[in-house]
Amino acid sequence: MPPAVAELLARADTFTDERCTVAGRTLVASCTRVSEDSGLRVLMVQDQTELSRMSGELDTVRTMAAGLRAQTHEHANRMHTVVSLLELERYPQARDFAASTLEGSVRLGETAREIEDPYVAALLAGKTATAHERGVELVVVTHGQVPPLAVDPSELVSVLGNLVDNAVDAVSGVDPTDRPGEEEPPTVEVELVPSRDGRLVHLTVADNGPGIRPDVRERLFDHGVTTKPATDAPRGVGLDVVRRAVEGWGTELTVSHEAGAVFSVDIPAQHPALDRKENR
């Protein structure tokens, strides 16, 4: 029995739809008792790798669509501004505004070309546009060429998407005096650093928000724990999902609270040269 499934059995007598990753496959396990009197249990395990892959692709398409809508809306606003400046004969301001818009588009395109994983590149392009609509600057920093990642696409989209969304929520609409750098604009920085041996990519998502309250830090990754205002929608689920996905990768999610919040995780990467060497 795979260790990940054995751990589920040791952790609880019964459970439903628990996800785990075994040898790169996404498994969903459920366990029920045969009867109240019997100590026997029935374990059902489904391989949902292909379903997860398609789900990840669908999530990516949805994110790209949302990003394109945001980019279209933003582009229309900027074009209206340029036209209005020209009509007012504010030619220097129109030129400078148009130049700054072009510079931002070029910078985003250059960053996307350095990220070989299509899911990461598409997700960050969409999140950049939607963050800008909320008045948040999303900065993507890469150190060299970032290789494709060797994890389930749906889990990858879920982990990166949840971390970025939480960071944007943390700085959006917050009183500047509640942020450590109150004179700086609301900012989220996503950093991707390939390891020297090419086996991992170190992901960091940092924000300059108010940070995580001390009373929830110890329980931050527990199901149902949240720092967001109470609503009718389920809360406190995202980081629990992130934690379980990262554990399935055999790595660890860490968080620091010095200035804002900083979440870090190592993600297994595809490395063709190493893969060819190991398969000889």
Average pLDDT on 182-199 reads 89
- What pLDDT shows up at residue 1? 74
What is the residue-averaged pLDDT of the chain?
79
Give the pLDDT confidence of 102-117 residue by residue, as tens digits.
655 545 566 678 899 9
Give the pLDDT confidence of 5-54 residue by residue, as tens digits.
788 888 788 888 887 777 767 788 898 888 877 778 888 888 887 777 67
Give the pLDDT confidence of 57-93 residue by residue, as tens digits.
676 677 667 767 766 777 777 788 888 888 888 888 8
pTM (2 decimals)?
Answer: 0.66
Q: Which amino acid is at 174?
A: V
Would the pLDDT of 274 be above 60?
no
User: Domain 53-278 is of which CATH architecture?
Assistant: 2-Layer Sandwich (3.30)
Contact 152/21 with Cβ under 8 angstroms?
yes
The two beta strands, 137-142 and 187-194, are parallel
